[in-house]
Structure 1
Amino acid sequence: MKWFDYTALTLVIIGAVNWLLVGIFRFDLVAFLFGNLSWLSRIIYTLVGLCGLYLISLYGRITSAS
């Protein structure tokens, strides 16, 4: 399951960089690459959001490991 943690973390980092670009330059990289709210960009936004929600469980795993 460690591969899923790394995949989720990678997608959330990509999403964070995208939001950084939106915040600083008003440039949405996902919309630029895949179209403005096309079905593919909506899937990417959904996957990033789901991975973010999944990574909330990281807090519980960190405290239980220490």
Structure 2
Amino acid sequence: MKLLQQIAWILVVVGALNLGLIGFFGFSLVGAVFGAGSNIVYALVGLSGLYALSELPGILRRS
């Protein structure tokens, strides 16, 4: 995997886990760790999600 793909997928997983924590416990791990800089992390997670979405057709073709 390319480095950009690895970073994007890691951020997608971080975002999913963070949303799970918010949904189940009302706790934002990203907000707790990054504080005021969490908006930047959320933006990177969103961009990573768009990148992962753009890879989805290729992933579906391979399976």
Q: What is the number of equivalent residue pairs in this alignment?
A: 62
After superposition, what is the alpha-carbon deviation per residue over 1:11-59, rounded to whole angstroms, capped at 9, x for unaligned?
A: 1101110001000000011111122xx2x11100000000000111122
Structure 1 unmatched ranges of 5 or more = none
Q: 2: CA distance between counterparts of 1:7 and 1:30?
A: 16
Q: Which runs of 4+ in 1 moved over 3 A?
A: none
Please state which structure has a larger fraction of its residues in helix. 2
**Root-mean-square deviation (Å):** 1.5
TM-score, structure 2 as length reference: 0.86
Q: Which residue of 1 aligns with 2:46?
A: 49
Q: Which residue of 2 aligns with 1:58?
A: 55
* Percent of aligned pairs sharing the same letter: 47
Q: Which structure's CA Rg is the greater one?
A: 1
Residue pairs, 1:5-24, within 5 angstroms: 5-24=5-24
TM-superposed CA distance for 1:60, in Å, is 2.0
Q: 1: CA distance between counterparts of 2:30 and 2:53?
A: 23
